[in-house]
Structure 1
């Protein structure tokens, strides 16, 4: 259902600032913590003594300590000590490659030997002082691919988000989808329209008139395994759209990191990065609040959609031109899963032949 030999956003540093964090990712139960050097570590959330969750313990002397009987474990999954016990023969638990970057903790749930931190794609908005970012986290009870479908087809904004970012011109604008260098891009451009309420507020925030005629754009980019970054904005009519001078537009990047938990649930790290007035923290907070309300509107639809699909598994869903972004993204995901399964089969055949 999901590829494992890739990097996913697992959490944010604040989530385990005071105690270990339990999180299930791609079906793997993990415990996140900081070791004695301040580095992030992730191990299987399972104590080899009696199976207690290690995440219910604490960190002492840089070791993850089980809260049941005091077993201590290093970041490599090896038990280092336990009161009155010799631990040399204790089995190891799985440890996971982790990277702290761009304000997130990234984890590789698959084959640790294949983990390459350079595969985490660069996020300029996260390292540049010209950008500001604010976001949050939702735990959603639906297949992570349904969220990808949702984000790669913004037609739904007209209906689900009618009072904030939706408008009829979204339905009327042609959709263009293409795959470039393994990235799926779906784009819409709307010219000479009025901005919807959310973007009217953004215009005002950038010292532009709310009622101005604008050109609007939406460019959704899916990057495997499940990241969707959306270049969105409005510019004063005739000023060049996306290429308009900074003082003639209000634009941002909608950030969507979608991390599978199980086959029917996922962690959704959402946010918005903007490159106008990055120093204005009050504006960042205002946008985060507004965006959070917008994404909340998607939750019931996606979770009810998941229930329908589970109840009626025999139903065949339509694939229209507006669905092309999600369809192509799913093809990439399916190909990644098939390649992993084939590699595992080949490895098992080699092991059997050499036994």
Structure 2
């Protein structure tokens, strides 16, 4: 269902500022906290004493304290102490490799000895002061691969997002899918079209006219295990489209980190990175609110889709040319899962 020897986005640091965070990832219950050195740690959310979730406790002097009987545990899953009890022989619970980078906490749910932080993708927009980022998190009750399908085939925008980013030209534009340097790319270009409301607003925010024809593009990039980054934008028509000068276009990167929770649920870290007006926090908030509303529409569709799939498990889904990106992504995922199988 999902590969484990991979880095997934687990959470953002603010989620465990005040208390440990419980999160199930790839079917494994984890508790996230900071140790005495301020470094992020993740251990199995299970107290070896009586099985209570460690995440119900608190952090004291860098140790995770069980909220049931006061057992204290370190970042390596080893029990340090417990009031008036001898706990030296307690078995360690599982600990997970974690890395805090780019404003996210990444976790490796698989074999710890195979974890290599160099495998975390480089995100230039997260380290450059020429870019701004705003995003959020949704918990979605659907197979995480349905979200990948959704993002690798943006045809649905015409029907799901009619009031924001959808337009009929998306249906009419040819789609090209290919594998490039270990990723699946799906591209769509629409020339001399009317900008939809979401992009009209972004044109205005950059001081560009919103009532002129534009050339629009969508380049979806899937990288294993479940990351999708989408280069999207519009440029005033006739200036080169995606290659137009910066003062004739407005473009962004739609950020999608999809982390499996169970076979039928996932965590969806969504956002948008832009390389214009990076210091305008009001614009960042406005885009975040608009994008959040758009993705909420996807949430409703995906959860309904999952319920239908649960009800009709014998039904075989049809594959069309517009599904090629999702199909290729699933093949890559299946290959990773097969590699990990005994």
State the TM bucket, normalised to the shorter chain: over 0.9
1-structure distance, mates of 2:83, 2:279 = 52
1-structure distance, mates of 2:305, 2:293 = 20
Aligned-pair distance for 1:144?
A: 0.1
The 5 A counterparts of 1:65-76 are 65-76=65-76
**Aligned residue for 1:172?**
172
Aligned-pair distance for 1:240?
A: 1.3
1-structure distance, mates of 2:270, 2:71 = 36
1-structure distance, mates of 2:239, 2:123 = 27
- Tell me, yes or no, if structure 1 residue 313 matches structure 2 residue 313: yes
**Aligned residue for 1:101?**
101
The one-character-per-residue Cα deviations of 1:24-76 (angstroms, maximum 9, x if unpaired) are 00000000000000000000000000000000000001100001111000100
Aligned-pair distance for 1:246?
A: 1.1
- Tell me, yes or no, if structure 1 residue 92 matches structure 2 residue 82: no
Q: CA RMSD in A?
A: 0.5
2-structure distance, mates of 1:28, 1:52 = 15
The 5 A counterparts of 1:41-120 are 41-120=41-120
**Aligned residue for 1:3?**
3
Aligned-pair distance for 1:267?
A: 0.2
Under a length normalisation based on structure 2, what TM-score does the superposition of the two structures give? 0.99
**Aligned residue for 2:29?**
29
The 5 A counterparts of 1:1-355 are 1-341=1-341, 345=342
2-structure distance, mates of 1:53, 1:299 = 29
2-structure distance, mates of 1:83, 1:62 = 17
Native 8 Å contact 1:35 1:62 kept in 2:
yes
1-structure distance, mates of 2:201, 2:139 = 28
Native 8 Å contact 1:57 1:64 kept in 2:
yes
2-structure distance, mates of 1:244, 1:337 = 41
2-structure distance, mates of 1:215, 1:166 = 15
The one-character-per-residue Cα deviations of 1:156-177 (angstroms, maximum 9, x if unpaired) are 0000001100000000000000
Aligned-partner SS, 2:106 = strand
2-structure distance, mates of 1:39, 1:240 = 47
2-structure distance, mates of 1:38, 1:154 = 41
1-structure distance, mates of 2:336, 2:62 = 36
2-structure distance, mates of 1:174, 1:207 = 31
Aligned-partner SS, 1:216 = strand
Aligned-partner SS, 2:272 = strand
Aligned-partner SS, 1:318 = coil
Native 8 Å contact 1:134 1:288 kept in 2:
yes
Aligned-pair distance for 1:127?
A: 0.3
Aligned-pair distance for 1:86?
A: 1.2
Under a length normalisation based on structure 1, what TM-score does the superposition of the two structures give? 0.96
Q: Which runs of 5+ in 2 are unaligned?
A: none
* Equivalent residues, number: 342
2-structure distance, mates of 1:209, 1:61 = 56
Aligned-pair distance for 1:330?
A: 0.1
2-structure distance, mates of 1:338, 1:315 = 24
Native 8 Å contact 1:246 1:276 kept in 2:
no
2-structure distance, mates of 1:182, 1:78 = 38
Aligned-pair distance for 1:300?
A: 1.3
1-structure distance, mates of 2:246, 2:263 = 42
Aligned-pair distance for 1:299?
A: 1.2
2-structure distance, mates of 1:83, 1:292 = 46
Aligned-partner SS, 2:151 = helix
The one-character-per-residue Cα deviations of 1:118-137 (angstroms, maximum 9, x if unpaired) are 00010000000000000000
